[in-house]
Amino acid sequence: MSIQNVMVIGAGQMGSGIAQVCAQAGLTVKLNDMKQEAYERGIGTITKNLSRNVEKGRMTEEEKTAVLGRITPSLDLKDAHDVDIVIEAAVENMAIKHSIFKTLDEVAPKHAILATNTSSLPITEIAAVTNRPEQVIGMHFMNPVPVMKLVEIIRGLATSDEVYKKVEEMTLQLSKTPVEVNDFPGFVANRILMPMINEAIFTLQEGVATKEAIDDIMKLGMNHPMGPLQLADFIGLDTCLYIMEVLHEGFGDSKYRPSPLLRQYVKAGWLGKKTGRGFYDYT
């Protein structure tokens, strides 16, 4: 079976990006969200991205129209009845993912692969609520999806070699670089990245240096394209806190304890760029 028909669940920043790269690769895509306005925002983002590509000469207006023509809206998970793979990109909440995957297991074809774009939650635990754990896998795309090349492909305890191979082939078809990872908290990307961001927040909290100094040191001294505090603002401080809590709970190691300053900012509603204020002011 070759993968031709895709459903992407969640029309937010990640989901719309995944839908875009799938459609650009010639796949037929159903972009699913609970609300019509969320879908419209998502397709608006995709249209804007494609228009920018046309302006820069990366694609023609005809190619843009063809890509958009391969994406159709979906407001019901039952629309997964004829797809080859579902890529879930909903909120990072295990209860919500369990609910989605239970439904998908009932409505998706028996051959369909059920993938999740989770950045830190256990694939094995998500797969356990289905009757096809061997067909459940992690596909962790990086943000922004149309630009970033990496996809962490995470095997659950039961994920079959055949399913891994199909997802690896699909990832290459999307012009992405697949990297195989086993199912441990945070996988690789966030297990390394988030403690670095958390340590930068501790460094700020303890008054070692200003936020600008911390970011400049990592940019100019370590050749990072963006400082860790600015990057945290772009990721979302609530997301950073959630992943640190997953790491702390998953490993039971105090080195993963979230910074109190991070908790304080999240409680204040200072979540970063998306709320206009985090470590920096975006108003």
Catalytic residues: 119, 140, 152, 190
Cα 87 to Cα 36, 69, 90, 97: the distances in Å are 19, 19, 9, 12
Backbone angles phi, psi at 73, to 5 degrees: -80, 155
| Residue bearing tokens 């200003």 | 210
CA-only gyration radius of the chain, Å: 19
Spatial distance between the Cα atoms of 98 and 10, rounded to a whole number of angstroms: 15
Nearest-CA neighbor of 211 among 220, 202, 224? Answer: 202
Cα 81 to Cα 5, 6, 75, 103, 152: the distances in Å are 11, 11, 13, 11, 27
Q: What's 187's DSSP letter?
A: T
Backbone angles phi, psi at 114, to 5 degrees: -110, 110
Spatial distance between the Cα atoms of 82 and 151, rounded to a whole number of angstroms: 25
Sheet order of strands, 71-74 included: 71-74, 28-32, 5-9, 85-88, 113-116, 136-141, 150-155, 177-182
Q: Report which residue type is found at 162.
A: E
Backbone angles phi, psi at 257, to 5 degrees: -65, 135
How many C-beta atoms surround the C-beta of residue 222 within 10 A?
Answer: 10
